[in-house]
A and B are shown apart, each in its own frame.
Chain A
Amino acid sequence: MLIFAAKRALTDIVNNKFLHIVSIVTIALSVFIVSAFSLFFNNATDFLDAWRTGVRVIAYVGANVTEPQRTRLEETIRNLNGVSVVEFISKDDAFNDLKQKIGQQSSLLDGLDKNPLPDSFEITLTDSYRRLEDIEKLSQSIGGLPYVEDVEYAQKWLHRFNGIYNLFKVTGLVLVSIFFIATLLIIANTIRLIMYSRREEIEIMRIIGADEEFIKYPLFLEAVAQGFLGGVAGILMLYLAFILTVPNLAPETVFSFFEIRFISVKFSLTIVLCSMMIGWVGCFFSIRKFLKL
């Protein structure tokens, strides 16, 4: 039964080449646009994430802290939730570092009779612990520890960054959703038009005694096949556009810490599955509306 329906669907596709090409192209373009948007926003968020990875919390250690006390402090910090790496930077290291950064003007520092910088710990956070609130909370608990003089974590900058980051995410989500819905409507409408253009053919099939299943099965198979082909074509188009344009953006030289990635296989499969489902749903509703099946 299904094999015959599939066979008929196939002859049907051949017989109605033009209509099928129209709807496959429509689906492919829609999928292309939606997945291009997702590609852009995924990478943009990844980029911001990668940037944020650079955020560290610095804990300054009091001047009169002994070495065993400091070691114990380091241990305590390391055991805090969300801490991944703790690096001790002695005041001498910090001073040398500063000298190097200032370079030629290091003579400026010659006037100092003693190193004004404190010892410090540079704390890197785990990946899951990078939200602003997390950072704030962690800084507070570190600040509350004994022997810790002060805590610093690029507060202002992070606050502003967080705003941009969230705005970006929301905009991305809204845009992708709008395009997704638009795509849904476009595809459903295309299928509707196709069904409408075929209502006479379907009426004829009924007059010669076709039952509902006989008429419906191939239509559903065709709609799902259209969704599949359109989805795959749209993603291939995006991939082609991707490999043609991305190397020219030369990102590795601009942002060494970031690499533009194509949408994941999982996401591609989801899109293809979605477009197959849209085919099915579009078919379902137009059949109900135009064929009264």
Chain B
Amino acid sequence: MKDAFGLPQSLLVLGGTSEIALATARRLIIRRTRTVWLAGRPSLALEQAAEGLRDLGADVHTVAFDALDPDSHEAVLGKVFAEGDIDMVLLAFGILGDQARDEREPLSAVRVAQTNYTGAVSAGLVSARALQTQGHGSLVVLSSVAGERARRSNFIYGSSKAGLDTFAQGLGDALYGTGVHVMVVRPGFVRTRMTSALPEAPLATTPEAVATAVELGLRRRSETVWVPGALRVVMTALRHVPRAVFRRLPI
């Protein structure tokens, strides 16, 4: 069960090797979390991630999960929930894609969309139903500022995150009053392997900062969290920049 500060005792990570997710898991284990499920594509990295969290004293399990195989989500996640209540699901999987290549190769663009959007729709709905049956829990969704407004430089990724973000907001409204809390997290540029090949953007931040923001959001039962917080204001301004100007901005 979550405590008065919204801290979970059990955590399910979808995208078990995500650097942001693991920073969050480490933070939560230091606080209260005892049981962690890392769901992801089987790999050495996934096992190493589990080992790292065990060193912090948590009871950690790994489970094979592929966002691109929605047919399996019901069974895979069903097994996890059958083992006991999950106080928090962290939906962290996602791929950035390669904008230039994805424009050339529609199938690789579709892969971005299927991972980030339809994969999340499926896993999100399955998780939401299980949480609702429990009558409690938080579903924390890693969206992105990239979904806030389409940018020339990454609109394929951005549009998948826009879909995810809208989906998660609606799900939060659908679950209002059911004991289940949905929190949409919109980080800006986070220094992880996902962004290691990119030039650093303004207001760049760290996985640890996202973890801190998630912890605060849990306590406040926030519905939307920006990391860093200043992005909320920045994006509010950018939203109103005319298209003709926005298109030419170096972002």
Do they bind each other?
A: no
